[in-house]
């Protein structure tokens, strides 16, 4: 009570003084023109803001010093033990007591709070996280790491961060949960999924894909990726799927997800992921998409590439039919797909692709495909070269040199060898 | 009537000043907002590295660095570029027919041999004589392009674009010192955007006064001489307030030629750099924006709030003046060449806000300031000054300018944009400079801008003299 009354007293005192000086200032400038009054107000505002920033700087500086001290203390106390936990020596399965003894924690300390408060836990996680995201973490025994984190009460702390604090903390904590591959309760996942922030929702989703044993992405709305899709999403999804595959879990049906999207960018993403994870099984499900979405040239390009890469030869007729009707960039992708099939049925399509365009890039790629098509293709290439008009001769020369370059690209040692013959230089 | 004109001019200048201050405040708020948003999306460097390093989907980048007669520093600079930490990048050094030993040094040091190279002249540049690569695996990232003399950095950059094979390229100067994590920081913006990113600007600071070891800035410090110190403060304000603020509404007006990332395809389709331009970086960015808008494509321009690159700036008033006169000419040229973008909402926030801002507050300001100064002198001589009001008004402008600089220091400290060697001393130096800036530095810049404008109007030929580099301090081993 006494403290409250003292605070009240000083507050009133400050208020009274400020009111007095403000009135004095207003009175002082009463006779001045309005521009001077504005100038004075701006000056006062700037001074006040500078004072606030000055105090903020002082506070920040003190706060950082405090954090640095804690960091040094924790590093000093647990640093070596953390390093040990990621070393080859700690690969064997250890009991909680053994881990505790490595960290210098007595028997009676197990199960009690080792780190005093949230701040210490945060710094401990940071210190460990920085070590953990190095290559060394691959050597670590996952069970030991999980026991260690439980020993220090980290999982509960991270879950609290995820569910209670600001978006920034949610994102950070979720990132760490995923890095350490800690199990997350369904309650937390549901809470995150219902977050209004897309970033948080996505993190929950990727974590779930990576950590849960469910085989599909059914727990998300179908237009999830249509709202916001960036390269990072693709990388995140690829990581999560890769980890699922490593753990022996089935991948979701990516073709179905490509079909469910409306946005071209997200459709392309799922098609690319199919290519990346060799999902030949569902390639036929892209046919409908190919037929109905023919105006989306990027998507058609990606599907053609995926079919070619996965050797889905059933699509060959569809690709041959589409070749001449597509824009140049897509044509190139289709020609490459046909070359990968190399069934002998599509050589005429490549020839058409070469003749029916004036775009040098497409002609160049058509020649490249012919050249790589096998003996028949090589023969056709030679014939074209023999019959080439004067203007086209240079084009063939240029092309041949590019093949030399390609060979160099394939063979690294040869590429850096000075004996490589220089035929063309720009 | 004269009295009416007098009052009109006074109120015009007052209104202009208030509007300028309001726009600065707006940029302050927007930069803070951008930093807060990015704070959520940009994790610490280690996490970014962990995320991008292991993924084959991380986009590849080409670093293009044109060089002309750089025999003194070329090897150090290439070694510095080699230190960049990124999983997938190539370094393209473009030798613009140097007359000194630049090429010879490169060939001997990196065991370069001529290789056949598939070059399509996608953008205009002087013919490429040969392309060289190293016979040693450890230098496999290095590509050296030897071309005919173009005389301009833009021509060299264009040759680099013709050779570059990646989706993104970074244009830089060979004498820039790049932070090892710079590419990660820039590409993080690309990875996080749901719209195609066509350009990313990185924060650049002066390397004068910094200590460099093995091509890296190991101790960041404020320069010890006055001219670079003023510029350091100016760079901090420009990158951390102005550019970051504009980037929050996707209206970045400039990606510095010293270190900026571009989408290769869009840059090629908009014609690459213009070797005849005095402000080729702004010019190319505006053409890229025009191309994207005219073809109805959505895009994003980003700004990295952390320092990514260190460059040596003019150390003397003479070189500073030369540089600023060239910038002023460049600004005039941009305004006359891209006038259709100005006040044109078709070109998005850049046309509707940024370019009008540049026109009103950056282009007109030096002229207005000069006029105001002359008017003030005339009033003093005529005894027509109300000193009370004049002092108050001057005080307002002075305090506001200090406030802006103070804010940038606060911003820098709270975001850790720069890791200063000694934060307290660095800030004290910069605060001292803040107090002097309106009296010393600002009049010089105003004068140079006016001279630059005059030279542009009177069609005087521009001579591009390179800045005399003193080199950076190296740590003694």
Q: What secondary structure does DSSP assign to A204-237, as a single string?
A: HHHHHHHH----S-TTS-TTHHHH---HHHHHHH
Provide the shortest C-alpha distance from residue B319 to chain A (in Å).
34
Residue B432 CB contacts under 8 Å (≥ 6 apart), including other chains: none
User: Is residue A222 packed enough to be buried (19+ CB in 10 Å), middle (13-18) or exposed (0-12)?
Assistant: middle
Answer whether A405 sits within 8 Å of B57, measured CB to CB: no
The neighbouring-strand residues paired with B95 are B67, B146
pLDDT at B358: 93
User: Is residue B3 packed enough to be buried (19+ CB in 10 Å), middle (13-18) or exposed (0-12)?
Assistant: exposed
Q: How confident is the model at residue B260 (pLDDT cuts 50, 70, 90)?
A: very high
List Cα–Cα distances, A376 to A350, A359, A406, A407, B183, in angstroms: 12, 24, 21, 20, 46
| B354 in Cβ contact with B253 (< 8 Å) | yes
Q: Is A55 on the interface with B (CB under 8 A)?
A: no
The bridge status of strand B61-67 relative to strand B168-172 is parallel
Using the predicted structure, report yes or no on whether residue A407 has a pLDDT greater than 50. Answer: no
The topology (CATH level 3) of B60-236+252-323 is Spore Coat Polysaccharide Biosynthesis Protein SpsA; Chain A (3.90.550)
- For A175, the closest of B43, B59, B118 (CB atoms) is B43
Q: Is A212 on the interface with B (CB under 8 A)?
A: no
pLDDT at B464: 54
Helices in A254-359 by DSSP H: which ranges? Answer: 254-260, 264-276, 287-292, 297-310, 316-323, 328-341, 347-355
Which of A231, A329, A395, A405 to mutate to test binding with chain B, by most B CBs within 10 Å of its CB? A231
- For B192, the closest of A230, A416, A418 (CB atoms) is A230
- The closest alpha carbon to B175, from B475, B467, B477, belongs to B467
Q: How confident is the model at residue B105 (pLDDT cuts 50, 70, 90)?
A: very high
| B356 in Cβ contact with B342 (< 8 Å) | yes
Tokens read off for B96? 């613009």
Give the start-end residues of each E strand in B163-257: 168-172, 177-178, 197-206, 211-213, 216-219
Answer whether B43 sits within 8 Å of A412, measured CB to CB: no
The H or E element containing residue B260 is: strand B259-263
Of A69-73, A203-207, B122-126, B205-209, the least confident: A203-207
pTM: 0.83
Cα A132 from Cα B369, distance rounded (Å): 57
Q: Least CA distance to B163: which residue of chain A?
A: A426
Answer whether B129 sits within 8 Å of A231, measured CB to CB: no
Provide the shortest C-alpha distance from residue A61 to chain B (in Å).
9
Provide the shortest C-alpha distance from residue A312 to chain B (in Å).
23
| B261 in Cβ contact with B200 (< 8 Å) | yes
pLDDT at B315: 86
Q: Least CA distance to B391: which residue of chain A?
A: A36
Residue A95 CB contacts under 8 Å (≥ 6 apart), including other chains: A147
Answer whether A232 sits within 8 Å of B191, measured CB to CB: yes
| A181 in Cβ contact with A211 (< 8 Å) | yes
Answer whether B40 sits within 8 Å of A171, measured CB to CB: yes
* Secondary structure of residue B264 in the 3-state scheme: helix
Mean pLDDT, chain A, integer: 80
- For A46, the closest of B14, B52, B400 (CB atoms) is B400
pLDDT at A415: 37
Q: What is the mean pLDDT of residues A91-113?
A: 83
Residue A257 CB contacts under 8 Å (≥ 6 apart), including other chains: A217, A270
Answer whether B58 sits within 8 Å of A235, measured CB to CB: yes
Using the predicted structure, report yes or no on whether residue A419 has a pLDDT greater than 50. Answer: no
The neighbouring-strand residues paired with B63 are B91, B170
DSSP A412: H
User: ipTM score of the complex?
Assistant: 0.82
Cα A301 from Cα A329, distance rounded (Å): 7
Mean pLDDT, chain B, integer: 87
Cα A22 from Cα B173, distance rounded (Å): 55
Answer whether B403 sits within 8 Å of A172, measured CB to CB: no
Q: How confident is the model at residue A68 (pLDDT cuts 50, 70, 90)?
A: very high
* Residues in chain B closer than 8 A to A36 (CB atoms): 388-389, 392-393
With b meaning 16 or more CB within 10 Å and e meaning fewer, what string describes A25-62?
eeeeeeeeeebbeebbebbeebeebbeebeeebeeeee
* Residues in chain A closer than 8 A to B140 (CB atoms): 412, 416
Tokens read off for B438? 């309106």
Answer whether B117 sits within 8 Å of A426, measured CB to CB: yes
- For B410, the closest of A57, A361, A423 (CB atoms) is A57
List Cα–Cα distances, B31 to B157, B415, B431, B466, in angstroms: 30, 12, 21, 33
Q: Is A198 on the interface with B (CB under 8 A)?
A: no
List Cα–Cα distances, B69 to A121, B91, B104, B276, in angstroms: 55, 18, 11, 21
- For A53, the closest of B46, B389, B406 (CB atoms) is B406
pLDDT at A391: 66
Which of B410, B415, B428, B434 to mutate to test binding with chain A, by most A CBs within 10 Å of its CB? B410
Q: Least CA distance to B39: which residue of chain A?
A: A168
With b meaning 16 or more CB within 10 Å and e meaning fewer, what string describes B212-243?
beebbbeebbbbeeebbbbbbbbbbbbbbbbb
Q: How confident is the model at residue A414 (pLDDT cuts 50, 70, 90)?
A: very low
pLDDT digits (tens, 9 = 90+) for B288-319: 999 999 998 889 999 998 888 998 888 889 99
Which of B24, B38, B57 to mutate to test binding with chain A, by most A CBs within 10 Å of its CB? B57
With b meaning 16 or more CB within 10 Å and e meaning fewer, what string describes B261-271?
bbbbebbbbbb
- Torsions phi, psi of B435, nearest 5? -70, -35
Using the predicted structure, report yes or no on whether residue A216 has a pLDDT greater than 90. Answer: no
Provide the shortest C-alpha distance from residue B477 to chain A (in Å).
28
Using the predicted structure, report yes or no on whether residue A189 has a pLDDT greater than 90. Answer: no
Residue B182 CB contacts under 8 Å (≥ 6 apart), including other chains: B84, B202, B259, B304, B308, B309
| B76 in Cβ contact with B469 (< 8 Å) | no
List Cα–Cα distances, A218 to A185, A205, A249, A258, B448, in angstroms: 18, 11, 16, 13, 64
* Residues in chain A closer than 8 A to B409 (CB atoms): 57
Q: What is the mean pLDDT of residues B212-235?
A: 88
- For B119, the closest of A228, A418, A426 (CB atoms) is A426
Q: Give the A window 4-33 contacts with B, CB below 8 Å.
A: 32-33
Domain ranges of chain B: 60-236+252-323
pLDDT at B468: 58
Which of B40, B61, B121 to mutate to test binding with chain A, by most A CBs within 10 Å of its CB? B40
Of A134-143, B251-260, B404-413, the least confident: A134-143
Q: How confident is the model at residue A400 (pLDDT cuts 50, 70, 90)?
A: low
pLDDT at A328: 80
Q: How confident is the model at residue B452 (pLDDT cuts 50, 70, 90)?
A: very high
| A328 in Cβ contact with A361 (< 8 Å) | yes
Q: Least CA distance to A403: which residue of chain B?
A: B118
pLDDT digits (tens, 9 = 90+) for A378-388: 888 888 888 87
Cα B203 from Cα B31, distance rounded (Å): 13
Q: Is A235 on the interface with B (CB under 8 A)?
A: yes
The neighbouring-strand residues paired with B259 are B172
Answer whether B118 sits within 8 Å of A418, measured CB to CB: no
Answer whether A133 sits within 8 Å of B131, measured CB to CB: no
Tokens read off for B276? 């005849």
Neighbour order of strands in the sheet with B168-172: B112-114, B128-134, B142-147, B89-95, B61-67, B168-172, B259-263, B197-206, B300-311, B177-178
Q: Least CA distance to A225: which residue of chain B?
A: B194
* Residues in chain B closer than 8 A to A179 (CB atoms): 50
pLDDT at B107: 92
Provide the shortest C-alpha distance from residue A375 to chain B (in Å).
25
pLDDT at B473: 61
Q: How confident is the model at residue A207 (pLDDT cuts 50, 70, 90)?
A: confident
Cα B209 from Cα B338, distance rounded (Å): 38
The bridge status of strand B300-311 relative to strand B168-172 is unpaired
pLDDT at A135: 65
Using the predicted structure, report yes or no on whether residue A312 has a pLDDT greater than 80. Answer: yes
Q: Least CA distance to B396: which residue of chain A?
A: A43
Within 10 Å of residue A295's Cβ, how many Cβ atoms? 8
Answer whether B115 sits within 8 Å of A420, measured CB to CB: yes
Residue B94 CB contacts under 8 Å (≥ 6 apart), including other chains: B64, B65, B66, B67, B144, B145, B147, B156, B157, B159, B160
Largest CA distance in chain B: 80
Q: Is A403 on the interface with B (CB under 8 A)?
A: no
Answer whether B57 sits within 8 Å of A235, measured CB to CB: yes
Using the predicted structure, report yes or no on whether residue B219 has a pLDDT greater than 50. Answer: yes
pLDDT digits (tens, 9 = 90+) for B166-212: 899 999 988 888 998 999 999 999 988 888 899 999 999 998 888 88
Tokens read off for A302? 């990606």
List Cα–Cα distances, B430 to A264, B263, B399, B405, in angstroms: 50, 36, 15, 8
Q: What is the mean pLDDT of residues A101-119?
A: 82
Q: Least CA distance to B50: which residue of chain A?
A: A133
Q: What is the mean pLDDT of residues B69-94?
A: 88
* Residues in chain B closer than 8 A to A230 (CB atoms): 191-194
Q: Is A35 on the interface with B (CB under 8 A)?
A: yes
| B53 in Cβ contact with B45 (< 8 Å) | no
Which range of A318-327, A338-347, B422-431 scores highest in mean pLDDT? It is B422-431
- For B134, the closest of A171, A238, A416 (CB atoms) is A416
Answer whether A42 sits within 8 Å of B59, measured CB to CB: no
Answer whether A235 sits within 8 Å of B52, measured CB to CB: yes
- The closest alpha carbon to A319, from A342, A340, A346, belongs to A346
């Amino acid at each position: 009570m006494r403290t409250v009354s003292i605070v009240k007293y000083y507050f009133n005192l400050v208020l009274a003084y400020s009111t007095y000086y403000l009135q004095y200032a207003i009175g002082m400038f009463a006779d001045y023109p309005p521009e001077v009054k504005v100038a004075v107000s701006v000056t006062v505002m700037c001074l006040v803001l500078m004072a606030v920033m000055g105090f903020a700087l002082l506070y920040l500086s003190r706060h950082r010093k405090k954090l640095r001290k804690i960091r040094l203390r924790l590093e000093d106390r647990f640093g070596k033990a953390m390093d040990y936990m990621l070393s080859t020596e700690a690969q064997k399965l250890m009991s909680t007591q053994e881990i505790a003894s490595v960290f210098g924690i007595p028997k009676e300390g197990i199960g009690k709070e080792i780190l005093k408060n949230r701040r210490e836990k945060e710094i401990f996680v940071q210190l460990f996280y920085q070590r953990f995201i190095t290559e060394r973490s691959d050597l670590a025994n996952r069970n030991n790491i999980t026991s260690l984190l439980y020993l220090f009460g980290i999982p509960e702390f991270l879950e609290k961060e995820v569910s209670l604090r600001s978006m920034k903390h949610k994102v950070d904590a979720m990132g760490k949960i995923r890095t350490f591959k800690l199990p997350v309760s369904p309650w937390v996942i549901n809470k995150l999924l219902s977050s209004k922030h897309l970033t948080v929702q996505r993190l929950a989703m990727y974590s779930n894909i990576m950590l849960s044993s469910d085989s599909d992405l059914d727990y998300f709305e179908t237009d999830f990726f249509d709202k916001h899709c960036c390269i990072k999403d693709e990388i995140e999804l690829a990581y999560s799927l890769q980890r699922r595959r490593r753990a022996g879990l089935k991948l979701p049906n990516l073709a179905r997800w490509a079909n469910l999207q409306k946005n071209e960018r997200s459709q392309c993403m799922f098609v690319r992921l199919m290519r990346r994870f060799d999902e030949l099984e569902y390639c036929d499900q892209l046919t409908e998409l190919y037929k109905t979405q023919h105006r989306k040239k990027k998507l058609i390009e990606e599907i053609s590439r995926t079919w070619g890469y996965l050797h889905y030869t059933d699509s060959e007729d569809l690709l041959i039919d589409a070749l001449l009707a597509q824009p140049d960039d897509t044509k190139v992708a289709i020609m490459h797909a046909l070359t990968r099939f190399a069934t002998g049925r599509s050589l005429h399509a490549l020839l058409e692709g070469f003749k029916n365009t004036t775009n040098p890039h497409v002609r160049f790629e058509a020649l490249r495909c012919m050249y790589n098509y096998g003996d028949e293709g090589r023969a056709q290439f030679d014939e074209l070269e023999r019959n080439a008009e004067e203007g086209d001769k240079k084009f063939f020369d240029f092309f041949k040199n590019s093949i030399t370059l390609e060979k160099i690209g394939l063979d690294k040692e040869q590429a850096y060898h000075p004996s490589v013959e220089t035929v063309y230089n720009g | 009537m004269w009295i009416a004109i007098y009052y009109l001019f006074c109120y015009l200048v007052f209104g202009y000043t208030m509007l300028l201050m309001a726009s600065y405040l707006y940029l302050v708020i927007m930069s803070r907002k951008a930093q807060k948003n990015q704070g959520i999306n940009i994790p610490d460097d280690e996490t970014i590295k962990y995320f991008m390093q292991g993924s084959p989907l991380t986009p590849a980048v080409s670093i293009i660095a044109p060089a002309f007669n750089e025999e003194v520093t070329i090897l150090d600079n290439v070694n510095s570029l080699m230190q960049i930490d990124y999983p997938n990048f190539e370094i393209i050094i473009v030798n613009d027919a140097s007359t000194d030993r630049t090429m010879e040094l490169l060939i001997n040091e990196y065991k370069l041999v001529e290789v056949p190279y598939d070059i399509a002249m996608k953008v205009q540049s002087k013919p490429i004589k040969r392309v060289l690569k190293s016979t040693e695996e450890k230098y496999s990232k290095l590509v050296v392009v030897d071309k005919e003399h173009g005389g301009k950095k833009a021509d060299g950059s264009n040759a680099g674009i013709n050779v570059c094979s990646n989706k993104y390229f970074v244009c830089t100067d060979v004498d820039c010192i790049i932070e090892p994590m710079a590419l990660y920081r820039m590409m993080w913006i690309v990875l996080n955007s749901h719209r195609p990113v066509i350009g990313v600007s990185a924060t650049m600071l002066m390397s004068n006064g910094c200590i460099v070891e093995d091509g890296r800035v190991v101790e960041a410090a404020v320069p010890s001489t006055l001219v670079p110190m003023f510029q350091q403060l100016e760079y901090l304000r420009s990158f951390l307030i102005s550019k970051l603020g504009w980037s929050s509404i996707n209206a970045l007006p400039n990606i510095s030629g010293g270190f900026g990332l571009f989408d290769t395809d869009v840059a090629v389709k908009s014609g690459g750099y213009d070797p005849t331009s005095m402000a080729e970086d702004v010019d190319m960015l505006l053409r890229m924006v025009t191309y994207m808008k005219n073809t109805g494509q959505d895009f994003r321009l980003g700004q990295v709030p952390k320092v990514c690159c260190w460059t040596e700036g003019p150390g003397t008033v003479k070189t500073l003046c030369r540089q600023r006169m060239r910038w002023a000419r460049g600004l005039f040229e941009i305004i006359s060449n891209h006038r259709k973008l100005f006040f044109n909402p078709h070109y998005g926030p850049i046309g509707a806000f940024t370019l009008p801002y540049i026109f009103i507050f950056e282009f007109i300001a030096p002229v207005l300031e000069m006029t105001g100064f002359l008017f003030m002198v005339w009033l003093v001589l005529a005894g027509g000054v109300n000193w009370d009001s004049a002092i108050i008004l001057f005080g307002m402008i002075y305090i506001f300018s200090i406030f802006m600089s103070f804010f940038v220091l606060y911003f820098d400290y709270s975001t850790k944009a720069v890791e200063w060697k000694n934060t307290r001393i660095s800030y004290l130096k910069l605060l001292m400079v803040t107090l002097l800036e309106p009296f010393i530095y600002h009049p010089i810049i105003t004068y140079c801008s006016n001279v630059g404008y005059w030279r542009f109007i009177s069609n005087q030929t521009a001579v591009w003299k390179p800045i005399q580099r003193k080199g950076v301090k190296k740590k003694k081993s």
